[in-house]
Amino acid sequence: MQNESVIRRRDLLALIGTIAGSSAMYHAMTSLGFASESAYKGPLKLAGDVKGASVLILGAGLAGMTAALELRKAGYKVQILEFNSRAGGRNWSIRGGDSFVELGGFRQTSQFEQGLYLNPGPWRIPYHHRALLDYCRRLNVTLEPFIQLNHNAYLHATRAFSGKPQRFRSIKADFQGGVSELLAKITQQGRLDETVGKEDQEILLQSLRDWGALDRDYKYNANLVSAEFRGYARDPGGGLMGDPLPSEPIPLQELLRSRMWRYLQTFARYDFQTTMFQPVGGMDMIGKAFAREVGDLIRYGAKVTQIQQNGSGVTVSYVDTASPSTVQQATADWCICTIPLPILSQLPVDVSAPMKSAIDSVPYAASVKIGLQFKRRFWEEDDAIYGGISYTDLPIRQIAYPNYGFNRGGRGILLGAYMYGGANSFEFTAMTPAERVASAVEFGAAIHPQYRNEFENGVAVAWHRVPFTLGCAGEWTEATRAQHYRNLCQIDGRIVLAGEHASQLPAWQEGAILSALDVISRLHERVVKT
């Protein structure tokens, strides 16, 4: 009978996996359609005679404009109908003076200082989103680093440490140190003999000492070695300023009960590994760059009311949002529809029953982002936080610091709340914009007490109340993807769908672009062969 005191290999690997990585989480996300690896192989080459074919594109987001750019280059006649008065869709930045109205009639007009902005939709670009990065390069969109991980940002739990925020570096170092000490003790007691050889145990102990900042006795405690990871009680000085003093680690038991360790895997996930990017000047610089290329093809203020097709072409009915009394029509041989599914599901659309069922079966996730302007950049001046994200179990979930204008003083904007899915998103969506902003300030003061004196104004975007999307992004489950994904992506007669919801990367701009490239490749093949 096996000795139960011996740690099994799978238990050891599970323990190390919890600390050092999250591949299991990534594989689970892959099955649900939330993985973010790009399949981009380089620019399209659409060869062959298109025979004067025309394509009507519904929506001037990144998917629609990618399709328009590539199809026109290949010789197609292209037209885009866009609901908004601007291009980009969810690729959107809010600056001072911008005004928008959400469902319910609430109008918000930004009072942000010139040069400051909020990205209410996408706000970061992973290094492995190769298609988006390639288009940024080709369209001359200048990028700068997006700081996902800041070791000096805060982790916060209302019921831990008397509600006092803790620096990320301290939580990370203490968790690694505590678990390393525990594993070293088990190794020294010979409880790994059946799974790890003697020589490997020595190597393991050496690695635990280095990785966990353990002392010569394999203990994790307050000393100048652990201080190099978790920070000092008194930093090293110059001259006669005094010797550095180590800080006191948090005991492992207390750290485990705080549950702050759950935030550590966020930064290890493939989605959020360094290096990440953002466009200089706001995320909408990408949408504007696309619009410079295809803007002459876009009919703005066009609200689609019906999509019809027959064996020879497609007819789309729409109204001008400025004078909606008159129904107009646009026709083409083919139609690429990028209209978000919550809106498309409400329109009369001539598609097959399987595609209609797919359109009706994929909801959009709720999400809320709140931008807060402050009189000064106190997070830099007082707390030495330059970029990055603080996490909390309060309803606001995240506070993100701007990744531009470092160390310049003056006003600044925080992302004072970012909720994606869950009850908090719906709770904030139900509030008025003013109530959302006030709540974000009140909750945020638990992490940054400076909020109350420094706050000036804010903007709150609840995506389920945004008229042109009625939600943030396609929310697939394993069951809906198995049943409906292929039907959603098929060319249905002369209509085909594109957008982040029609990709394996929902909620990412890369998914929107890849879906468009896939669609136009298949559509072009059909046109050339017909």
Domain boundary among 465, 492, 516: 465
Instruction: Give the separation between CA 404 and CA 402, rounded to whole angstroms.
Output: 6
Average pLDDT value over all residues in the chain: 92
Q: Does 278 lie in the same domain as 370?
A: yes
Q: Select, from the ranges 22-26, 185-189, 390-394, the one with the highest average predicted confidence (pLDDT).
A: 390-394
Q: Does 436 lie in the same domain as 397?
A: yes
Q: Does 107 lie in the same domain as 137?
A: yes
Domain that holds residue 492: 54-88+285-362+476-529
In this structure, are residues 147 and 386 in contact, taking their beta carbons and an 8 Å threshold?
yes
Q: Residue 361: how many CB atoms within 10 A of its CB?
A: 17
Q: Residue 242: how many CB atoms within 10 A of its CB?
A: 11
What number is the average pLDDT over the span 269-277?
93
Per-residue confidence band for 319, with pLDDT thresholds at 50, 70 and 90: very high
Domain boundary among 435, 465, 495: 465
Question: What proportion of the chain, given as a percentage, has pLDDT over 90?
Answer: 87
Q: Does 181 lie in the same domain as 79?
A: no
Residue 170: which CATH number? 1.20.1440.240
Q: Which residues contact 292 (CB under 8 A, 6 or more apart)?
A: 139
Q: Does 372 lie in the same domain as 294?
A: no
Is pLDDT of 4 > 80? no
Tokens of residue 144, six digits? 């700068």
Is pLDDT of 367 > 80? yes
Q: Does 497 lie in the same domain as 430?
A: no
Per-residue confidence band for 141, with pLDDT thresholds at 50, 70 and 90: very high
Q: Does 144 lie in the same domain as 16?
A: no
How would you classify the pairing of strands 367-374 and 389-392?
unpaired
Range from 40-44, 279-283, 372-376 carrying the lowest mean pLDDT: 40-44
Per-residue confidence band for 338, with pLDDT thresholds at 50, 70 and 90: very high
pLDDT in tens, 176-214: 999 999 999 999 988 887 788 888 899 999 999 999 999
Helix (H) or strand (E) holding 253: helix 252-258
Is pLDDT of 26 > 50? no
Q: How far is CA 198 from CA 186, 189, 191, 494, in A?
A: 13, 12, 11, 67
What number is the average pLDDT over the span 424-434?
97
Q: Is residue 264 part of a domain?
A: no
Is pLDDT of 21 > 70? no
Domain boundary among 438, 465, 492: 465
- Quick one: pLDDT at residue 440? 98
Top pLDDT among 41 and 179 is at: 179
Q: Does 313 lie in the same domain as 294?
A: yes
Instruction: Read off the amino acid at residue 54.
Output: S
User: Quick one: CA torsion of 59, 65, 66, 72, rounded to 10 degrees?
Assistant: 110
Is pLDDT of 247 > 60? yes
Range from 38-42, 102-106, 241-245, 320-324 carrying the lowest mean pLDDT: 38-42
Residue 295: which CATH number? 3.50.50.60
Q: Does 512 lie in the same domain as 447?
A: no
Q: Does 105 lie in the same domain as 71?
A: no
> What does the buried/exposed string (b/e) look like for 362-385 if buried means 16 or more CB atoms within 10 Å of the residue's CB?
bbbbbbbbbbbbbeebbbbeebeb
- Quick one: pLDDT at residue 265? 86
- Quick one: pLDDT at residue 36? 52
In this structure, are residues 208 and 214 in contact, taking their beta carbons and an 8 Å threshold?
yes
Q: Residue 507: how many CB atoms within 10 A of its CB?
A: 24
Q: Residue 58: how many CB atoms within 10 A of its CB?
A: 27
What number is the average pLDDT over the span 442-468?
98
State how many domains the chain has: 3
Residue 440: which CATH number? 3.90.660.10
Is pLDDT of 524 > 60? yes
Q: Does 232 lie in the same domain as 139?
A: no
Is pLDDT of 301 > 60? yes
Q: Which residues contact 104 (CB under 8 A, 6 or more apart)?
A: 465
Instruction: Give the separation between CA 24 and CA 17, rounded to whole angstroms.
Output: 8
- Quick one: pLDDT at residue 266? 86
DSSP of 355-398: HHHHHHH--B--EEEEEEEESS-HHHHTT---S-EEEESSTT-E
Is pLDDT of 303 > 50? yes
Q: Does 349 lie in the same domain as 486?
A: yes
Instruction: Give the separation between CA 151 and CA 421, rounded to whole angstroms.
Output: 26
- Quick one: pLDDT at residue 41? 84
CA proximity to 341, closest of 497, 477, 448: 497
Q: Is residue 194 part of a domain?
A: yes
Q: Is residue 192 part of a domain?
A: yes
